[in-house]
A and B are shown apart, each in its own frame.
Chain A
Amino acid sequence: MMALGVVALWCDGAVSRAVEETNRRMLRARDAMDRAYAQPLDVPALARIAHVSEAHFTRTFRATFGETPHRYLQRRRVERAMFLLRETDRSVTDICFEVGFGSLGTFSRTFRDIVGRSPREYRKETTASGVPTCFVMA
């Protein structure tokens, strides 16, 4: 019994180390998405960074962070759009393409879905704060 207990503990440790290693690789891939948020989602490149197959990447990312890479990227783009709406006076259309959306329709729909307001409403109701990325891109 004693020996079995030790083996179980060892297995536990090995499993959790494997999870931690996977987490860290997924975080590395997520950091890469943060750096290239305006580019199209490049699953093969991200899978290489994370050392998993393309087929596993989306599933593992979701298991790790609780959302798909696609959703994460959308949230990042919307967050960057919010930043530009606050801190600049560039047009909504400009900002939409700048952060990587392919059409104004998708941008507006996604923005409203995440923020609960349209980009224009958000801009009107918010004030510039000059905050950097240290918390929003954590």
Chain B
Amino acid sequence: MFNAITHSQIYVLDQDEALDFYVGKLGLEVAADIDMGFMRWLAVSVPGHPERQILLEKPGAPAMSEETAQQVRDLVTKGAMGGWLILTTEDCRGTYEKLLAKGVEFTEEPTERPYGIDCGLRDPFGNRIRFTQPKA
């Protein structure tokens, strides 16, 4: 029935800050940045892979009242909103060192797992991100 997962979303509190982080630090690329009037459709992807995009959505109107948006922001910043990503890399430790030098906030250092080496970090808003170097 279906062919692919093309878009997922996570909530960000500020889209410019999100760009700085996801593109400027993590090295993803902008897949779409469109002013739709009622919202800014901002999506990123791994460079060269626009077939899988992450929408960086700012909670608010028209989908939500300011009160609801506030609840969402509250949960995001507590790390409890549930938005998260897992990326793959060819070099977990090297990427970790590079991102650490850029001031990325890690929650877990590269660790050996049955499936490879992975580590954990947070985006500026509280979302969880992990990246894995799969076992060869």
Contact = CB atoms under 8 A, between A and B. Distances in A.
Given A23-B74, A24-B125, A130 B114 contact: yes
B114 A27 contact: no
B73 A16 contact: yes
Nearest to A20: B77
A134 interface: yes
A35 B78 contact: no
A137 B114 CA distance: 18
A31 B123 CA distance: 13
B70 interface: yes
B126 A134 contact: no
Interface residues of B, number: 25
Given A35-B107, A133-B108, A19 B130 contact: no
A11 B125 CA distance: 21
Contact of A23 (B66, B78, B84, B120): B78
Contact of B78 (A64, A130, A132, A137): A64
B110 to A, nearest CB: 12
A35 to B, nearest CB: 7
Contacts, number: 57
Contacts of B105: 28, 31
Interface string B101-125: 0000101100101110010101001
A86 to B, nearest CB: 14
A99 B105 CA distance: 24
Interface residues of A, number: 22
A34 interface: yes
A34 B13 contact: no
Contact of A65 (B13, B78, B113): B78
Contacts of B84: 134, 138
Contacts of B86: 134
A57 to B, nearest CB: 16
Interface of B: 13, 66, 70, 73-74, 76-79, 84, 86, 105, 107-108, 111, 113-115, 118, 120, 122, 125-126, 128, 130
